[in-house]
Amino acid sequence: MNAAAGSPPYGVLSVSLRFEGDVEGEVFHGEGVAYFRDGHVYKGSFFHGLLHGFGEYIWSDGLKYQLVIITDEDGAENKDRHQKELQNVQGEFKMNVPMGTGTYTWLDGSTYEGEVKQGLRHGFGTHKCAKTLAVYRGQWYLGKRQGKGLMHYNQEGTTWYEGEWLNNCREGWGKHHYPSGNVYEGEWRNNIRHGEGTMRWIDLDEQYSGQWVNGVQEGRGTHTWLRKRAPCSLYPRMNEYIGEVFQRMRHGRGDFFYASGAVYSGEWNHDRKHGQGRYVFEDGRVYEGEFIKDSIAEFPAFTPGLSGITSPFPDENFGSSNFFSLNFGNSGEASKTRSSFSPLGSDIILNIQTLLTRVPENRRDQELKQVEFAVLRHIGLLREIYSFYSNLGHEEHPERTYPMTLLQFSRFLLDCRVHQCGITLAHMLRLVTAEEACSPSTVILPRECISLIISVAYHIFHKDTESTKIISECFSKLMMQNIVPNAKNVKGYLFHHADVGSIYSERCWEIYQILSKAHSVKSVACITVRQFILMLQDLCLYDEYLTVSKVLKILSQESPAVSDGTYSNLDLEVS
């Protein structure tokens, strides 16, 4: 038998050298041993002169095909189970051909155990190679790996492939774990990465997810350079490119998001910014124009984002009309303005233009500086707060930080008791976001978080502040009275049961939107405590355990103004 192909022992007993066993008439029938002239030996069942039933066949080159022996936990043969197996496979030999289930053993110690058809590995089986120590367990088709299967390439199990096969090759969808620890999961063609797939380079802390052609990144994809973040960092420490790729390189159009917060969108040529593009610096300033070999065409010596972490800005004296800053008002429209130095650094640009319009024009610049210095006094704590609340509900990961959501920001405000300063949380969020209601999953960036805190402070304390530095004074007052003593002391139920709460968060938001529109008053979409209680009644949720009094007690633990045990305010807004 050919060890590679597994060809069947086509041979008739007329060429046998010697036979020992049962006969019927002039043919071998029953149990016996046949010795063939070419050195092959068969021991097992015969039927009218043919190998038929269960037996063991040994080729002259040492290859052996035999019955699968099933043993119990003590090592003894389980005869009942064994006999049942024999009946199910309908015999290991059929008309001189190995069929059913059996074990091939090669002279070098390699083995195959599983299903056989026409003498070939066919169906499900396990092949162990003695020379390479590789082990394949999965589907076979006419002697070749085909279908789904798992291949371990070494004894330690550090390199393996699990997925689809065709003609002994990785073909289709599969996952390959390399000896280095690198992992690729995606499409294959003829043993090569080809199609859609994701590769993770462990030592380099890099990941590419996108299109592959003949083993290399080509087409469109996302390449991420992961970095371990510093404690309480504002940004996830990673660079990311999303766009066109050619022969592993950024080539064509694409967006590069730097770890510092800078962004480049435009044309690339062999990993370099080249052609028309737009570069947004960390401080919000923008260059739009031509790039040549990674540098701004007007300033060849200046290469923004070269380090991938920070982007120094050209000397202000360059005065190019292609440089400008963007400011966003509540309308969401961007306006270009002259950029100026901020003591907070390039990663925090405050968006408090709406508040500054309430300050006399001749004092706005000075008021902005006072606010920036007030923020600077607490910047360490503010960074900690953002990092702490943005991770609520997530498993801690050393290489990843999450952006804060409106739901987490709301939890921060509630923990700091700002809703007990004469304004409900729902009303407060509506004031600072300039919208009727925002989804709880709305992302809030670090600089936006600080700007929102400043806005919250102003709306709470501006009537009680007589100082000319009204915005900065309100912010300082909120920090000292509410945030410093209370932040990071998480209350309530939601984030103590985040795994359950996260499942229903979006559905609850949909319900809130429907109810708030149905009960809107004076074009303000919201619901009150009264409507919330009636909703639970409509859903038939009240019983001897959950009563209206119990609901009011639960709500008052978060918002004491709802009920003091004697008097209840059912007209308060619910966020």
Residues 358 and 293 in one domain: no
Q: Give the predicted TM-score (pTM) of the model.
A: 0.51
- Three-state DSSP state, 328: strand
- pLDDT on residue 105: 86
Decide if 488 is inside a domain.
yes
338 in a domain, yes or no?
no
Whether residue 285 is found in the same domain as residue 356: no
Give 421's DSSP letter: S
Please report the pLDDT score of residue 400 as a whole number.
62
Nearest to 300 by CA among 261, 273, 282: 273
Instruction: Let me know if residue 172 belongs to a domain.
Output: no
Asked, for residue 61, whether it belongs to a domain, the answer is: no
Q: Distance between CA 566 and CA 535 in Å, rounded?
A: 23
Which residue, of 252, 279, 297, is where some domain finishes?
Answer: 297
Q: What is the pLDDT of residue 314?
A: 44
Number of domains in the chain: 2
Same domain, 384 and 280: no
Residue 25 belongs to some domain of the structure: no
| Shared domain check, 259 and 188 | yes
The full length of the chain comes to: 575
Q: Work out the number of other CB atoms within 10 angstroms of the CB of residue 399.
A: 12
Domain end marker among 274, 297, 320:
297
Residue 46 domain-assigned?
A: no
324 lies in some domain: no
User: Is the CB of residue 244 less than 8 Å from the CB of residue 253?
Assistant: yes
**Tokens read off for 191:** 């043993």
Residue that is last in its domain, among 495, 521, 548: 495
Query: What Cα–Cα distance (Å) separates residue 443 from each residue in 221, 449, 492, 510?
Result: 24, 10, 21, 18
309-313 LR contacts (CB < 8 Å, sep 24+): 309/258, 309/259, 309/260, 310/260, 310/262, 310/282, 310/346, 311/258, 311/260, 311/262, 311/279, 311/281, 311/282, 313/281, 313/283, 313/285
pLDDT at 16: 60
Q: Which residues of the chain have pLDDT under 50?
A: 1-14, 69-91, 232-235, 307-321, 323-340
- Domain hosting 201: range is 178-297
Residue 508 is assigned to a structural domain of this protein:
no
User: Beta strands 100-105 and 111-117: pairing type?
Assistant: antiparallel
